[in-house]
Structure 1
């Protein structure tokens, strides 16, 4: 019984000292966004703008940025079958962003791609593409947050 208690204590020590830190808990945002300008009015830009709204006009932050967003999506055929129909497709979202504060102007392009099989049912294909788009936008928003946290250092 004593050996089990010692093993349990050793395991607890290793788990506590493994270096796990939550991504957003440790990082406090030291920035605020004064305005978000959309260069093109599409669904991708609006979703990114909505995800960045939590940073708008936060008071007493040392860094403030004006943000400009331009985005586009591209669906291209990567392979075809013998009849010439699309067999596999690639969904690509590209977002060009400009962050400007009083002193500097930062330009960054965020891109995410995803390859998938074509489907015969076009309704299911469209729903699947909407899911892909939402997932890619989530990845891009995560990358934008990481970029903003790196700018504040």
Structure 2
């Protein structure tokens, strides 16, 4: 009985037409990237580029421009004029060009508010983790955007 159940589950799962959204096939825009150009914050741009995991090839035709900016601003202060709250904002503009013609263009923006810490080392460590989380969220959104707007 167990074998029959396993066989039926296998048949239904393999024949349901399911394909992962992040799967890149040979016609995907992910396979047609000539170069990725970084503008703005190079450190953030490199980390987003690495998380996108796009392989470049000079024979292909698309150019991706990643323009990234991260800002940390004070949003609240106490009566002694000491900052008690911060906001970190990560903005990324992605443009995809085909022979100097923009075919896809979109801005991504994520923010996070947090409180100040007495221990500056802990604050710095916390800010790094926030930055990593924001980069991860925007990278996932970019992958989804590129997967859904694949006009190849």
| TM bucket normalised to smaller | 0.7 to 0.9
Alignment of 1:83 onto 2:80:
yes
Runs of 4+ in 1 over 6 A off after TM superposition: none
Out of 112, 116, 119, the position equivalent to 1:118 is: 116
Give the match for residue 36 of structure 1: 36
Q: Is residue 93–residue 107 contact of structure 2 (8 Å, CA) maintained in 1?
A: yes
Tell me the distance in 1 between the aligned counterparts of 2:136 and 2:21: 21
Summarize the Cα distance change of 1:27–1:141 in structure 2 as closer, same or farther, 3 Å threshold: closer
Q: Is residue 21–residue 147 contact of structure 2 (8 Å, CA) maintained in 1?
A: no
Give the match for residue 128 of structure 1: 126
Structure 1, unpaired ranges of 5+: 1-8, 17-21
Tell me the distance in 1 between the aligned counterparts of 2:22 and 2:42: 31
The 3-state SS of whatever aligns with 1:54 is coil
With normalisation by structure 2, the TM-score equals 0.74
Give the match for residue 98 of structure 2: 101
Q: Is residue 21–residue 144 contact of structure 2 (8 Å, CA) maintained in 1?
A: no
Q: How many residues were matched structurally? A: 133
Q: Is residue 94–residue 105 contact of structure 2 (8 Å, CA) maintained in 1?
A: yes
Kindly indicate whether structure 1 or structure 2 has the higher relative contact order, using CA contacts under 8 Å at least 6 residues apart. 2
Tell me the distance in 2 between the aligned counterparts of 1:26 and 1:125: 37
**RMSD of equivalent CA atoms:** 2.9
Alignment of 1:68 onto 2:57:
no
Tell me the distance in 1 between the aligned counterparts of 2:44 and 2:22: 26
Give the match for residue 20 of structure 2: 25
The 3-state SS of whatever aligns with 2:121 is helix
Structure 2, unpaired ranges of 5+: 13-17
